[in-house]
Structure 1
Amino acid sequence: MAHNTSSTVAAHTGTGSPLAGRVAVVTGASSGIGAAVASRLAADGARVALLARRADRLSALAEEIAAAGGEALPVAVDVTDADQVSAAAETVAARLGRVDLVVNNAGVALPSMIDKGRTDDWQRMIDLNVTGVLRVVHAFVPALLAAAEAGAPADLVNISSVSADVIYPGWAVYAATKAAVTQFSATLRAELGGRGVRVTNIEPGMVDSELRENVSDPEAKAALDEFAEAVPSLEAGDLADVLAFLVSRPSRVNLPKLRIMPTWQA
């Protein structure tokens, strides 16, 4: 589904810029949930660093955000590469200032029945959905702690999935990676909450995004397409709206875990 950044910004210009002065990082920002979240955060006044591999898409999104009155910095990076993520953190700090909001969104879903042994797909999901999340946290948590110590709001938002504990045949490895994100988030909150950093784990159900387009197993792709046709999905903007609300609450308010489902999805 195409994302219209200009209309997003226009729709929220009367909100009083609830995120004015904040610096946000959004991974997986080149499409889908990441692009929608980045656009909404910019609309609400944050300066946003756009992290993803596809530089051309990031540049186009940054231009849309700028045209609508926001500020965005495109940073091409593979979040599974520690050196690239560290360099990205340095770039963001130099260009935008201290980061106080991180949305760990980059991920991939490559379902297949386990007996097919699609080990390359398994490794790709582990590298991006788990290792990528760890790399981003490692790079940006020092800035979040510094923000909190200075008395500013500080947010780490990890995008997990309903698959973390809802069983779907063929999704075993993906589910395992998202269960890891959910547990990681819970433990991070125990480590960071007492130091002023809010940690939120969001578990979306079916979302209309490019995630389905990456599915390489033909049987899994057909089943997923059939399910998507039968069940009206969330739009990426729905998640962006909820996330923007969460991070604009007073610093004393933290929603640790939130599941967002399409009304029709069981």
Structure 2
Amino acid sequence: MEESMKRWEGKVAVVTGASQGIGAAVAVTLAKHGMIVCALAKRKDKIESLRVGLIKIKGQLNAVECDIANEQSVQTAFTWVEKTFGGVDLLVNNGGVYTKALFTDENNSRELKNIIDNEILGNILCSRQAIKSMKTRDVNGHIVNINSIFGHKVNQAVPGNKPMNSLYPPAKHAISAVTECIRQELLYLQTQIKITSISPGLCEQDIITSCTDNELVGLMPKMKPDDVANSVIYCITLPDTINVHELVLKPIGEFV
């Protein structure tokens, strides 16, 4: 893996939702492998705390304030990346939110819109900026969408218990569709830019396991954020002629 990452040394990676969990693990792992990582989050101080333990690494980790649900904020962040480092070679779309609100709850419009803006619109806005940067510089870059197993199947609710699904699965199903639509657009544009959807099962420190009070989720085995980060490395280090379009990860014993 170390040898296969040499092609990415000195290249620029943008990672969204990088302040904790999977996003933080991906950002740190890429920096350790020699990439110039621009870690996007609403709170820069959380990114700065990740840098404390990074001593004598090959690459670098940079904190960039960005609200991916806000188009101007996204444009500002990517403009800074381009002016500072020249452009984007790898984008990892990890930013997102979770809500316990049900569709039928009263006064839930703000929560539902927040899911759509962060999970779907934010992904598209960041992908659009990254592709523009890659095309302008004629770079065969890569976009990795951190999806979810809930982007493929709606979890069956236990009769009599409150469903844990709400708008999160529809939003992740949208990311599955967005990934394929962008893949087709990239072919139409005659680029060699790759796009991959990685769908982890339950993972420690992710927004589902951190926010849900579902007892079953608490009992099931979970993978670690580093496991997902290593899957990103796998996908971006395959030969130029191979593109992993969809990768599903599940910890042994999970029965979601």
Q: TM bucket by the smaller chain?
A: 0.7 to 0.9
Residue number in structure 2 paired with 1:190: 184
Residue number in structure 2 paired with 1:138: 128
Residue number in structure 2 paired with 1:59: 48
Percent identity at matched positions? Answer: 27
One-letter amino acid of the structure 2 residue matched with residue 143 of structure 1: S
Quote the offset at 1:82 in angstroms. Answer: 0.9
2:142 equivalent to 1:155? yes
**Alpha-carbon separation, structure 2, partners of 1:158 and 1:54:** 21
**Secondary structure, aligned partner of 1:24:** strand
Quote the offset at 1:49 in angstroms. Answer: 0.4
Residue number in structure 1 paired with 2:251: 262
Tell which deviates more after alignment, 138-147 or 72-81: 138-147
Quote the offset at 1:73 in angstroms. Answer: 1.5
Quote the offset at 1:161 in angstroms. Answer: 1.2
Q: Residue 109 of structure 1 contacts residue 214 of structure 1 at CA under 8 Å; is this kept in 2?
A: no
Tell which deviates more after alignment, 192-201 or 112-121: 112-121
2:236 equivalent to 1:247? yes
**Higher helix proportion:** 1
Q: Residue 34 of structure 1 contacts residue 106 of structure 1 at CA under 8 Å; is this kept in 2?
A: yes
**Alpha-carbon separation, structure 2, partners of 1:187 and 1:76:** 28
One-letter amino acid of the structure 1 residue matched with residue 132 of structure 2: P
2:59 equivalent to 1:70? yes
2:16 equivalent to 1:22? no
RMSD (CA atoms): 2.1
Residue number in structure 1 paired with 2:221: 232
Residue number in structure 1 paired with 2:75: 86
**Secondary structure, aligned partner of 2:54:** helix
Alignment coverage as a number of residue pairs? 245
**Alpha-carbon separation, structure 1, partners of 2:181 and 2:54:** 34
Quote the offset at 1:249 in angstroms. Answer: 1.8
**Alpha-carbon separation, structure 2, partners of 1:64 and 1:102:** 24
Q: Residue 114 of structure 1 contacts residue 170 of structure 1 at CA under 8 Å; is this kept in 2?
A: no
**Alpha-carbon separation, structure 2, partners of 1:184 and 1:231:** 29
2:87 equivalent to 1:98? yes
Quote the offset at 1:50 in angstroms. Answer: 0.6
**Alpha-carbon separation, structure 1, partners of 2:101 and 2:121:** 21
